[in-house]
């Protein structure tokens, strides 16, 4: 009991970090373990990543880890350990494989560190790098595609700029050009997708999971809650914290893992509100670095809250445990130790007078599911029958802590402060001063020089065994001897391996001592060189002072020479000024005489030009008058000719009209005479005309008709001519 209380006290004293990463993508076989040595499980999207997490990818597997705006991507057959992840530090160790790291925020650079078996890498500027460890035996390759990286290893430290690659060996460093492959192109495509997001207008880019919100929901501003994000393509009865699972993550406690790809940020930051009959996520105003929480929910239930569950058709009463999303006005009460400023950040919108009414979005499962260490898959869990009365009477109560020893990964030594271990594997110290025992750290499964093995004693027969035949006893003894020899041979092989490892360690220590001796010699040589450099610098300073004195004397002489030259220059300028005034006066007199001569010449020329213009104007006017008189005479003569032509046309017209009248009178008289003859003939009996007379009569009628036609045509011609004359 005392030990359990001590463990709980230690767990509560250590501050928990406010930054936790997540698995953003898992393709193919990808495993994750929360602690070094724990059993690895299949990595799910939105699974939390924190200190001591180890991520492994198998063949054809790839994964992406997001820590705020920083992306860490692993290629197939890779192993990455998160040595330390807190508010200010991100320390990673790539045991083997390939990793692509993209940093967008310059504030992350100070605490970012990546180690490999051959060296250490730090990024000096935002950008993108790739690290390959143990792809070639005992070699680390660092390729810089954007930014600058500092690489320490192989006895050297150098800055690598964009477009360069460094190959780090145990005692050598080589440089080359960086070359991309399919893994780099895949990482670049993922980065380009992140560059198109607009969610960073509403939340900070250091909120892990913000990059998934744009393509799965819509943003809008609300007068009460500020920016609101509403998910798209969810069911009408969808409720937050219902489609996912619970897992226990020390030291935070029960942690929610959402099934939706966008579910990480809305589950671990901000609050959920019901607006217009739809759930919307309210992250609050962007006020700096966000603070992570395992789940922002209110807990109800416990052993005193029994409900009826429908388990495979059978009804049973059992204790229940429920949770519901917290409203911005409600206080978040964590079950772990949290810094006061972090707790104030969570409850910055909480109201002291807030009294929760209905628990919207309440989800209830059996309390027994929280007893074990396994995951609680909520959609598969049996659900109880809820009534308004049972929901209203539900007591507040958090779920129990699973049974077992849950150590605080940030306070392994139990001093109440987060540990700051160096790079490498985390080793726990057992009680009673025993030596620490660590799992085999070699990749081939063999023990290293600090990993002990136990010789198994051979089996012997006891006196209590029943008597057997001599042959059976001999056979058993031979088998025991064979087993003993095999164990001895295995132990000898292990001893040889330990000796080899010890020799390697000794050689490494010898190389380290030699390197230290070389460093001391180098430091002594540097000290001697610094002394010589100091003497040389002193001589240089003396020479500089002498040159300064000579320069000062020379400057004084130059100043005197300049003053004398200036006086001579002033005298020369004065003489030049007098000469210039005299020249100006002579020039002015000459110009005045020239102006007077030009004015006299201009006056004579203008007078001659005026006389010439007057004579020209008189001649031109006289010629114009003569030309005008001639034109008037020609015009009058033309008018007289036109008048004579009109008179002639009028006379012709009069004669034609008189002839036409005479012709018409003659024709009328002929018609009247013919009519009179016809009338007279009609009164007298007419003899039968002779055929010859009839023929002559018809011929005369035809001739008369022709004459009339010709007369009509002549009249038309005359009329046409008259019209032509008139025109």
Give me the residue spans of the domains in the chain. Answer: 17-196, 213-411, 478-619
Which tens digits make up the pLDDT trace of 575-630?
A: 888 888 988 999 999 999 898 999 999 999 999 999 999 999 999 999 998 988 88
pLDDT on residue 10: 39
- Judge whether residue 27 has pLDDT over 70: yes
Work out the end-to-end distance of the chain between its first and last CA atoms, rounded to an integer number of angstroms: 142
CB of 105 closer than 8 Å to CB of 149: no
What is the dihedral sign for C-alpha 218, 219, 221, 222? positive
Distance (Å, rounded) from C-alpha 483 to C-alpha 475? 12
Question: Which of left, alpha, beta for 15 (phi over 0: left; psi -120 to 50: alpha)?
Answer: beta
Give the predicted TM-score (pTM) of the model.
0.58
Compute φ and ψ for 165, nearest 5 degrees: -135, 145
Determine how many CB atoms are found less than 10 A away from the CB of residue 411: 21
Distance (Å, rounded) from C-alpha 124 to C-alpha 157? 13
Mean per-residue pLDDT over the chain, rounded: 82
pLDDT on residue 171: 86
* Coil, helix or strand at residue 652: helix
Q: Which residues pair with 158 in a beta bridge?
A: 151
Which tens digits make up the pLDDT trace of 139-194?
A: 999 999 999 999 999 888 999 999 999 999 988 899 999 999 999 999 999 988 87
* Coil, helix or strand at residue 214: helix
E strands within 516-607?
A: none
CATH 2.60.120.1440 fits 17-196, yes or no: yes
- Position with higher pLDDT, 411 vs 556: 556
Determine how many CB atoms are found less than 10 A away from the CB of residue 520: 10
pLDDT on residue 439: 37
Determine how many CB atoms are found less than 10 A away from the CB of residue 406: 17
Distance (Å, rounded) from C-alpha 715 to C-alpha 531? 145
Reading the block at residue 522, the tokens are 């180098």
Categorize the per-residue pLDDT at 125 as very low, low, confident or very high, splitting at 50, 70 and 90: very high
Which H or E element spans position 662?
helix 470-683
User: How far from the centroid of its chain's Cα atoms is residue 331's Cα?
Assistant: 36
- Judge whether residue 688 has pLDDT over 60: no
Reading the block at residue 711, the tokens are 């007369």
Percent of the chain surpassing pLDDT 70: 86
The residue count for the chain = 727
CB of 150 closer than 8 Å to CB of 159: yes
Compute φ and ψ for 228, nearest 5 degrees: -125, 140
Distance (Å, rounded) from C-alpha 593 to C-alpha 121? 93
Q: What is the DSSP letter of 396?
A: B
Which tens digits make up the pLDDT trace of 484-531?
A: 777 778 777 777 777 777 777 778 778 778 888 887 887 888 788 878
Q: What angle do CA 14, 17, 20 make, to 5 degrees?
A: 140
pLDDT on residue 447: 39
Which H or E element spans position 33?
strand 30-33
């Amino acid at each position: 009991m005392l030990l359990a209380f001590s463990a709980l006290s230690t767990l509560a004293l250590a501050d928990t970090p406010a930054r936790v990463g997540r698995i953003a993508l898992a393709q193919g076989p990808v495993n994750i373990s929360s602690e070094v040595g724990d059993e690895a499980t299949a990595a799910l999207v939105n699974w939390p990543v924190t200190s001591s997490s180890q991520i492994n990818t198998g063949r054809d597997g790839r994964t992406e880890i997001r820590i705020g705006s920083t992306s860490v991507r692993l290629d197939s057959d890779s192993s990455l350990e998160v040595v330390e992840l807190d508010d200010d530090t991100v320390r990673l160790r790539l045991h083997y494989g390939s990793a692509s790291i993209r940093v967008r925020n310059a504030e992350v650079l100070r605490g970012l560190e990546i180690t490999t078996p051959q060296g250490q890498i730090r990024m000096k500027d935002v950008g993108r790098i790739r690290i390959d460890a143990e792809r070639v035996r005992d070699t680390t390759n660092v390729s810089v595609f954007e930014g600058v990286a500092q690489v320490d290893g192989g006895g050297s430290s150098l800055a690598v700029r964009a477009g360069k690659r460094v190959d780090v060996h145990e005692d050598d460093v080589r440089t080359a050009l960086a070359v991309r492959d399919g893994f780099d192109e895949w990482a670049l495509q993922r980065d380009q997708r992140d560059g198109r997001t607009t969610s960073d207008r509403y939340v900070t880019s250091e909120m892990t999971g913000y990059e998934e919100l744009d393509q799965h929901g819509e943003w809008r501003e609300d007068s009460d809650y500020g920016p609101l994000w509403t998910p798209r393509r969810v069911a009408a009865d969808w409720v937050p914290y219902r489609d996912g699972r619970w897992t226990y993550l020390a030291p935070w406690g029960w942690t929610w893992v959402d099934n939706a790809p966008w579910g990480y940020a809305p589950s671990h930051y901000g609050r959920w509100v019901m607006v217009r009959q739809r759930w919307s996520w309210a992250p609050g105003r962007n006020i700096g670095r966000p603070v992570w929480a395992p789940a922002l929910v209110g807990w109800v239930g416990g052993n005193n809250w029994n409900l009826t569950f429908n388990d495979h058709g059978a009804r049973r009463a059992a204790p229940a445990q429920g949770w519901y999303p917290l409203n911005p006005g409600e206080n978040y009460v964590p079950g772990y130790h949290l810094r006061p400023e972090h707790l104030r950040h969570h409850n910055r919108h909480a109201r002291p007078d807030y009294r929760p009414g209905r628990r919207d979005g309440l989800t209830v499962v059996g309390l027994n599911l929280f007893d074990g260490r396994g995951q609680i898959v909520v959609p598969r869990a049996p659900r109880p029958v809820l009534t308004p009365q049972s929901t209203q009477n539900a007591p507040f109560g958090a779920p129990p802590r699973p049974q077992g020893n849950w150590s605080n990964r940030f306070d392994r030594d139990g001093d109440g402060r987060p540990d700051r271990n160096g790079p490498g594997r985390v080793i726990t110290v057992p009680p009673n001063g025993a030596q620490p025992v660590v799992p085999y750290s070699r990749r081939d499964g063999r023990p290293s020089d600090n990993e002990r093995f136990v010789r198994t004693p051979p089996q012997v027969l006891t006196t209590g065994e029943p008597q057997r035949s001599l042959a059976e006893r001999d056979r058993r003894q031979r088998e025991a001897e064979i087993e003993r020899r095999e164990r001895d041979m295995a132990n000898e092989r292990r001893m040889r391996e330990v000796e080899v490892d010890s020799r390697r360690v000794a050689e490494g220590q010898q190389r380290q001592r030699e390197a230290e001796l070389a460093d001391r010699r180098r430091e002594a040589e540097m000290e001697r060189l610094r002394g010589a450099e100091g003497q040389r610098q002193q001589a240089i300073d003396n020479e500089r002072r002498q040159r300064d004195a000579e320069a000062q004397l020379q400057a004084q002489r130059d100043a005197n020479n300049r003053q004398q030259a200036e006086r001579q220059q002033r005298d020369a300028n004065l003489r030049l000024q007098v000469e210039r005034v005299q020249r100006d006066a002579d020039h002015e007199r000459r110009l005045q005489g020239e102006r007077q001569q030009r004015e006299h010449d201009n006056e004579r020329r203008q007078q001659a030009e005026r006389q010439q213009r007057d004579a020209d104007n008189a001649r031109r006017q006289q010629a114009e008058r003569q030309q005008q008189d001639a034109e008037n005479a020609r015009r009058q003569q033309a008018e007289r000719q036109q008048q004579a032509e009109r008179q002639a046309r009028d006379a012709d017209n009069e004669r034609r009209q008189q002839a036409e009248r005479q012709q018409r009178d003659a024709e009328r008289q002929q018609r009247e005479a013919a009519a009179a003859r016809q009338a007279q003939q009609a009164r007298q009996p007419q003899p039968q005309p002779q055929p010859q007379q009839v023929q002559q009569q018809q011929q005369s009628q035809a001739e008369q008709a022709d004459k009339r036609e010709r007369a009509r045509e002549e009249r038309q011609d005359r009329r046409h001519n008259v019209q032509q004359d008139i025109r």
